[in-house]
Structure 1
């Protein structure tokens, strides 16, 4: 009988880390030791993983001894330092930062699109894609396999929690402050006057009763890092290096759940009925499309759900071989923790089979 593998959560005290602990608790029987790792200031904390109360250990070279698979949820610069340390000790690292995603020797894996790539990891590292990209991929992968994806234009409406705990707390603080201001947002510049400059952080502008057309840092020619991630990561995961992509990413005053409007063009003709057939059978996709009865994807209904919800599917009027649709996913689940868990399951099965 194969021994049970040991798993670590690096960044166990964060928002995504807390979801990781809950998800691993659901599959606790698959693992040997579960080790919680975080910064030195969090070391010694006691956190629950199901019925167990585990002590958080400080990150350091020796903390990875005996670990088989490690989930990393750390800032880019911290992952850049510590992921290679863990990998050098023989740990298979699944990293959620952006640092390794476009490295040609690091697979960028989404189970619904390219599960086999998880086994091809010359550096011992597997990257987790951006939360916006991961919300798109299950739907795109299914449609691409059937109709051949040629191009897509995407507008994303991204929740405050995409900026982490700081973003979520900032949204709640702003909503609380404007909640008692009757008529707020109905006169020029009044929201800025009510909130003050201190409420520009972390989005660059007030988010309550507003939308901010900037997610990520600025890049060349007016693009943002988030918009380029949607383009580059979708190409890599889908294995379509020439895929034409246009993306605009917008922050909206929603707590959890990234929404995206997609215009997709295919090699072959596609109807709404054919798209429904494909997506109803697609892994990781929930078809939510009965608009006459007000049934369609919304962030408030996506929270905590494992699948990506897709609806409002229409055949383009003016563009041949094209569909319009609306996709929503919990950015903390499929967009982060759940995809990492699913990738780890692929690796676990591979490593256990190698022990036989």
Structure 2
């Protein structure tokens, strides 16, 4: 990424799954870094990480870690962001936070660069990275909203266990072995680690992601509904979500129903997707071409297929949206936000 200015960058949570990918994309995209500081919990401090042609020792994250830092990426949990992100801002850093802590704060922009980069202009030191399942949906729907208007969204998600962390991935592996061996499956993590009951995810589907909240919706469902309205800039947009966890390791899938303001054709919807930034249309029923979690893994794009008109509503359409929840759904979108800040000279 060509740029005259070099930046001092910190990554909080550098040893975690998302933090490691943030470091990878900073290296791969040649982000203009003068100094890179990798930070973590006290337990992970001292770990050695290779970055380009040098080895960096991970340090414990403290309030004083952000002196002379220009951009700080946070991906170490909401409690860490709550405690240390304001400290980073006090030291003059711009924070890009990958947790849910600041997302619905009215003073914090919630940004997907392909959708609402203009919101970055109003940041007050902290920028929030949206929920992984929200990111891929709004990225796919933005070109449709721009061209044809959007009244309503109904989404059912089919989310990978990696969205619940390493413990959930390990439990899926263990339960699969137990089931195939004819043993009883042990469940201690899903659907939500903090909830009272846990159920096996292997060979199963759990219609609960995070804990239940108001009106029978889960926190994950509320995230999708509220974040979508904020990102797309339409408080009157009708959004409903049902979030389901599947025994898939990586990449979230979504069945999405939309209603446009104007009557349009399937071909016009497909053309809007084709022209959309960061989107890949994979839609040919004749050749069984459509996105899957396996085919989307480790890729930066959002993949869209199965686009068809609703049989009862003239302005209704159904589609299938898939993206890697650790890449575009987390690390890559986070790095894109920083790249946009640099490109637009906001930092």
2:194 alignment counterpart = none
Distance in 2 of aligned mates of 1:297 and 1:52: 38
Shift of 1:349: 2.4
Distance in 1 of aligned mates of 2:20 and 2:190: 22
- 1:237 is paired with a residue whose SS is helix
1:249 equivalent in alignment to 2:249? no
Distance in 2 of aligned mates of 1:180 and 1:207: 16
Q: Is the 8 A contact 2:68 2:92 kept in 1?
A: no
Q: What are the within-5 Å matches in structure 2 for residues 1-356 of structure 1?
A: 2-28=4-30, 30-122=32-124, 124-181=125-182, 194-196=184-186, 199-203=187-191, 204-351=198-345
Question: With structure 1 as the length reference, what TM-score do the two structures score?
Answer: 0.92
Summarize deviations over 1:9-59 as a string: whole Å, max 9, x none. Answer: 110000111111111111235221111011111111101223321110111
Summarize deviations over 1:112-168 as a string: whole Å, max 9, x none. Answer: 11011112112x000000001011011111110011010010000000000011111
Q: Is the 8 A contact 1:96 1:336 kept in 2?
A: yes
Distance in 2 of aligned mates of 1:165 and 1:109: 26
Q: Is the 8 A contact 2:274 2:281 kept in 1?
A: yes
Distance in 2 of aligned mates of 1:89 and 1:180: 55
Shift of 1:179: 2.2
User: RMSD in angstroms over aligned alpha carbons?
Assistant: 1.4
- 1:335 is paired with a residue whose SS is helix
Summarize deviations over 1:273-299 as a string: whole Å, max 9, x none. Answer: 001111111101110001221110100
- 1:297 is paired with a residue whose SS is coil
Shift of 1:3: 3.1
Q: Is the 8 A contact 2:208 2:245 kept in 1?
A: yes
Distance in 1 of aligned mates of 2:250 and 2:53: 27
Q: Is the 8 A contact 2:31 2:339 kept in 1?
A: no
**Which is richer in helix?**
1
Distance in 2 of aligned mates of 1:347 and 1:31: 14
Distance in 1 of aligned mates of 2:333 and 2:65: 24
Which consecutive residues of structure 2, in runs of 5 or more, have no partner in the other structure?
Answer: 192-197
Identify which range, 13-22 or 259-268, moves more after superposition. Answer: 13-22
Shift of 1:348: 1.9
Shift of 1:173: 1.2
- 1:100 is paired with a residue whose SS is coil
Summarize deviations over 1:71-118 as a string: whole Å, max 9, x none. Answer: 100211221111111111110000011111011110000011101111
Question: With structure 2 as the length reference, what TM-score do the two structures score?
Answer: 0.95
1:188 alignment counterpart = none
Which consecutive residues of structure 1, in runs of 5 or more, have no partner in the other structure?
Answer: 182-192
